[in-house]
Structure 1
Amino acid sequence: MAMEALVTITGYVGTAVESRPTQRNTARASFRLACTPRAKQGGNWGDDNTVWMTVICWRTLAEHALASVNKGDPVVVSGKLRNQVWPDADGVVQERLVIEATSVGHDLTRGTSSFRRLQRVDSFDDLDRETGEMIAKLEAEDLADPFTVEDDPASAGVGD
């Protein structure tokens, strides 16, 4: 049984949201997220070490993040926590935390936001409805003019 590390993190967008082309022409966007916890140090509250991670968004979420999220915005990100590992040019192994986002939104404890629902041009519901109507129409035509063996050109001369 595979286990996923699902996380929800609040922080500030540390870079502009970037879009990069993919081999399959799937929308992809990414940005760096800064999470700075508060900690009590010597009787006073202060900032602890900042944790940086990369957030990757795919498909519609990527398009919406590009249109909605800006550097410095407080956000709430939910998704799958990943650890990317790769060798650099010198062969030294590098790694970074990555969240494959399933949702991204503004952190409303830090300010206000305005939501716009996008209209879909051809939703699957519309296509399913249109396909169903077409099938019903064809079935009605078939019942009104049933196909007979005499109408089949392949059966010409059969039974003569």
Structure 2
Amino acid sequence: MNETIICAVGNVATQPVYRELASGPSARFRLAVTARYLDREKNTWTDGHTNFFTVWANRQLATNAAASLSVGDPVIVQGRLKVRTDVREGQSWTSADLDAVAIGHDLARGTSAFRRANRGEPGTAAASAQSEPNWESPPGGSEDDLSPQEPEPAAVM
């Protein structure tokens, strides 16, 4: 299938709306994307036109987006572009929607603290924590030593 996949960088313009549907969780929010350019006459950065997209997220992405995003957050959204034109009450309008595949905070404009989502599967968190290697450098170790350290075996009582 031919689809138009785009990456949009902008700010969350509306609080995400979360819904539990028969097909699974769904969330939507508006994304404001403003072009910036260098005005050579004034030698300053100037805001250009702002485009607004409705971002749609489904399943786990919807749950995580609703829990993580607030109005004004700088984000990067990757997804399928869907442009729709409709006529209502004699007026024609066009909307641009993004069916999101990935959403994340824009770390070029701030910091973020990531927390893994609890998917509700018993035992997976403990199992992955034990098998995860320790990537920290050992005390007194060289920064050139990039090999991961094996985790200490768990004490059995």
Larger radius of gyration: 1
Give the ranges of 4+ consecutive aligned residues of structure 1 lying more than 4 Å apart after TM superposition: none
CA displacement, residues 51-107 of structure 1 (integer Å, 9 cap, x when unaligned) = 11110001110010000000000001001011123332x132321111000010000
Report the aligned-residue RMSD: 1.8
Q: Which runs of 5+ in 2 are unaligned?
A: 125-157
Determine the structure 2 residue equivalent to 1:29.
27
Q: Is the 8 A contact 2:30 2:53 kept in 1?
A: yes
Q: Which stretch shifts more, 102-111 or 91-100?
A: 91-100
State the alpha-carbon separation in 2 of the partners of residues 9 and 16 from structure 1.
18
Q: TM-score, normalised by structure 1?
A: 0.69
Determine the structure 2 residue equivalent to 1:118.
117
Alignment of 1:6-21 (within 5 A): 6-21=5-20
Cα separation, partners in 2 of 1:84 and 1:21, compared to 1, 3 Å: farther
State the alpha-carbon separation in 1 of the partners of residues 48 and 113 from structure 2.
31
| Structure 1 residue 113 displacement after superposition | 0.3
Determine the structure 2 residue equivalent to 1:144.
none
Alignment of 1:6-155 (within 5 A): 6-22=5-21, 24-41=22-39, 43-44=41-42, 45-88=45-88, 90-122=89-121
| Structure 1 residue 41 displacement after superposition | 3.7
Determine the structure 2 residue equivalent to 1:133.
none
| Structure 1 residue 25 displacement after superposition | 4.4
State the alpha-carbon separation in 2 of the partners of residues 118 and 101 from structure 1.
18
Give secondary structure in 1 for the equivalent of 2:64.
helix
Q: Is the 8 A contact 2:64 2:117 kept in 1?
A: no
Q: Which runs of 5+ in 1 are unaligned?
A: 126-160
| Higher fraction of helix | 1
| Structure 1 residue 19 displacement after superposition | 1.9
CA displacement, residues 14-41 of structure 1 (integer Å, 9 cap, x when unaligned) = 111112454x242111111111111234
